[in-house]
Amino acid sequence: MEDLLRSWDGEHVVVRYDQAAKAWIFIAIHSTRLGNASGGTRMKIYEAPRDGLQDALRLAEGMTYKWAGVDFPMGGGKAVIALSAPLADVERDRLLERYGELVETLGGTFSTGADLGVGPELVQVIGRETTHVFGVRGAGDPGPWTALGVFSAIEAVAEELYGSRDLKGRTVLVQGIGDVGIPLCKRLAGTGARLKIADVNEERAAAVAEELGAQAVDVGKTYAEPCDIFAPCAVGGVLNVDTIPQLRCRAVAGSANNQLERIEDADRLHERRILYAPDFIANAGGAVALCGLEALRMSEDYVAAKVLSITDTLKTIFAEAKAREESPYHAAMRWARKVLERGPA
């Protein structure tokens, strides 16, 4: 793991080996430039501890740019609990309680919430031992907030492509009908957009499509399905050297994290004249809502306005990218770095 830590540009990493559960805990603090670090806790089985550390470092850096991309006063952090084998529920809960004790010792320099393998009910377990956890004090489900941010991103894309935010008659393909995908689909359906839905659970996709008057798409043919805007709202890495040539859309704007398998994939999209709304800006709504409402005690109106401002942020990014004839990904990274260099507003 030494080479990973030497090459990382973050601030510090807290490492603990939990002997009882035979699990490694990594809390990566990438940046506190804008505020105390915050990011979810991921728990899964890893082939080797190094893989868990690598995930923590990568995800913490991503959180730094997510917060900076929407100019929000939080820093980038992430935690990974790297299991070596499945745990019984009782053992898992005890591990999460011990993890909560570790988070508490950091005195608020890191706060956390749900992520892969740690759902809302397990966040409550962590919250037994620390106050520095989101999702336990009434902010509610972050999914609809994330969906609101993605909807705002789609509106920005529509305005850039067609000169209007009006989505009536525009075809939007949503990949992934989950906590974000469903509220996003409902918002899109309400605008009169022509909605297409793809999900690995084809029965669920068919049911949601019937409810909303949408078209369910064969999940195996998702990337080749014609649409105006493709909204990936499931797993990451879906935009890559194999899928990008298949795309039959004019833009991509979705909630999935790490949509680009490689940075070069942003340029592949640009070469195909497919407008890309960088995921770390488009999907920031849920994180902004949880931290804003629970940690920073912001009003719901202020948080809503902040999430809706994703539209204007992307308009600025699109304009710069167009002037430089480059992918919006590069303009978004410059935007975020400028916010970090400036420091807290």
CB-based contacts of 210, cutoff 8 Å, min separation 6: none
Q: Please, are residues 326 and 276 in contact by the beta-carbon 8 Å criterion? A: no
Arithmetic mean of pLDDT, 186-198:
97
In this structure, are 154 and 26 located in the same domain? no
Per the document, the length of the chain is: 345
Catalytic residue, from 78, 196, 221, 306: name it.
78
In this structure, are 103 and 33 located in the same domain? yes
| 84 falls within a domain | yes
| 254 falls within a domain | yes
In this structure, are 161 and 97 located in the same domain? no
In this structure, are 24 and 81 located in the same domain? yes
| 103 falls within a domain | yes
pLDDT tens per residue, range 8-44: 999 999 999 999 999 999 999 999 999 999 999 999 9
In this structure, are 162 and 105 located in the same domain? no
Residue 220 is given by DSSP the state G
Full-model pTM:
0.90
Is the pLDDT at 137 greater than 70? The verdict is: no
pLDDT tens per residue, range 89-100: 999 999 999 999
In this structure, are 253 and 331 located in the same domain? yes
CA atoms within 13 A on the CB side of 120: 11
The Cα–Cα gap between 43 and 25 comes to: 9
CB-based contacts of 176, cutoff 8 Å, min separation 6: 198, 199, 232, 233, 234, 235, 254, 255, 256
Q: Please, are residues 217 and 225 in contact by the beta-carbon 8 Å criterion? A: yes
Arithmetic mean of pLDDT, 239-265:
96
In this structure, are 98 and 196 located in the same domain? no
In this structure, are 204 and 324 located in the same domain? yes
In this structure, are 177 and 235 located in the same domain? yes
In this structure, are 200 and 111 located in the same domain? no
Q: Please, are residues 56 and 64 in contact by the beta-carbon 8 Å criterion? A: no
| 81 falls within a domain | yes
The Cα–Cα gap between 263 and 62 comes to: 13
Q: How confident is the model at residue 140 (pLDDT cuts 50, 70, 90)?
A: low
> What per-residue confidence (pLDDT) applies to 139?
60
CB-based contacts of 254, cutoff 8 Å, min separation 6: 150, 174, 175, 176, 230, 231, 232, 233, 279, 282, 283
| 50 falls within a domain | yes
| 132 falls within a domain | no
Q: Which domain CATH number covers 95?
A: 3.40.50.10860
Structural domain for 6, as ranges = 2-64+74-126
Q: Which domain CATH number covers 314?
A: 3.40.50.720
Based on the residue annotation, tell me whether 78 is a catalytic residue of this protein. yes
- b/e map 246-264, b = 16+ CB within 10 Å: ebebbbbbbbbbebbbeee
In this structure, are 56 and 174 located in the same domain? no
In this structure, are 181 and 265 located in the same domain? yes
User: CA torsion angle for 324, 327, 332, 337 (degrees, to 10)?
Assistant: -70
> What per-residue confidence (pLDDT) applies to 138?
61
Q: How confident is the model at residue 141 (pLDDT cuts 50, 70, 90)?
A: confident
| 69 falls within a domain | no
| 166 falls within a domain | yes
Burial group, residue 267, by CB count within 10 angstroms (0-12, 13-18, 19+)? middle
Question: Based on the structure, what is the number of domains in the chain?
Answer: 2
